[in-house]
Homo-oligomer: A and B are copies of this chain.
């Protein structure tokens, strides 16, 4: 009979519940501040029940990051679908990157600013742009280079990719470093700084930055696409509100 299958399904569902609860809590207060007991309480289990599904707290957050990296990568492909030039793709991708950091700052912090061991994508997935956002960026840079859009002395695809990434990350991270208004510093509005960061990317890498910047300004004035959704990113959207009934939680 299908009992084994059902059990496996329940096990998977439990994993999802744990991950979703952890994601919400981490997004609220950050990795260190959230306790295993809290995660358990949120889904009405004891803290130790989590250890049936994850080796320890670090493994749990690693798995969480792995999934959110996938989700992150997926956003880019979605965003550039139907764009008319690599330049337009680049602008859209930039908005997606910074928009993600703006919408989910704690997640961005968890994924890109926490000293955790990186959760590198698994073997088969390493070269799939739907899974690894760096691969997406790498391919985009390749397109730009092949199309002759880049400055002629820029010949190293990885160096350019990493240069672009670091500019975007800098803009995103500065926001999290200086989140609260410091009185001694006239901290410019986020959108203004983000736009400036994108201008820097274009200006410092493109052969003809002026044209691209026009495109950027146009996209920006129409509201910065890529900044749409409002809740914590989650892969398991279906059973959102009511957690699935647990199998006899208390004997």
A residues apposed to B, CB below 8 Å:
30, 32, 109, 112-113, 115, 118, 120-121, 126-127, 132, 134, 156, 158-159, 162-163, 165-171, 173-174, 176-178, 180, 182-188, 192-193, 196-197, 199-201, 203-205
Contact = CB atoms under 8 A, between A and B. Distances in A.
Contacts of A176: 115
A196 B170 CA distance: 14
Nearest to A164: B200
A110 B173 CA distance: 14
A196 B159 contact: yes
B200 A204 contact: yes
A1 to B, nearest CB: 42
B174 A159 contact: no
Contacts of A169: 170, 173-174, 177
A162 B174 contact: yes
A197 B166 contact: yes
B126 A177 contact: no
A159 B134 CA distance: 28
Nearest to A168: B170
> 10 nearest interchain CB pairs?
A170-B170, A166-B170, A200-B204, A126-B184, A203-B204, A158-B186, A166-B174, A204-B204, A169-B170, A163-B196
Contact of A200 (B32, B118, B163, B193): B163
Contact of A165 (B112, B120, B174): B174
B204 A163 contact: no
Contacts of A197: 163, 166-167
Contact of A166 (B115, B159, B193): B193
11 contacts: A32-B32, A109-B115, A120-B182, A134-B185, A159-B193, A163-B196, A166-B170, A167-B197, A167-B200, A199-B204, A200-B200
A170 B167 CA distance: 5
The interface centre, meaning the residue of A32, A165, A170, A193 with most chain B CB atoms within 10 A of its CB, is A170
A167 to B, nearest CB: 5
A187 B32 CA distance: 28
Contact of A162 (B112, B113, B115, B187): B187
A184 B120 contact: yes
Contact of A184 (B30, B127, B168, B184): B127
A193 B159 CA distance: 7
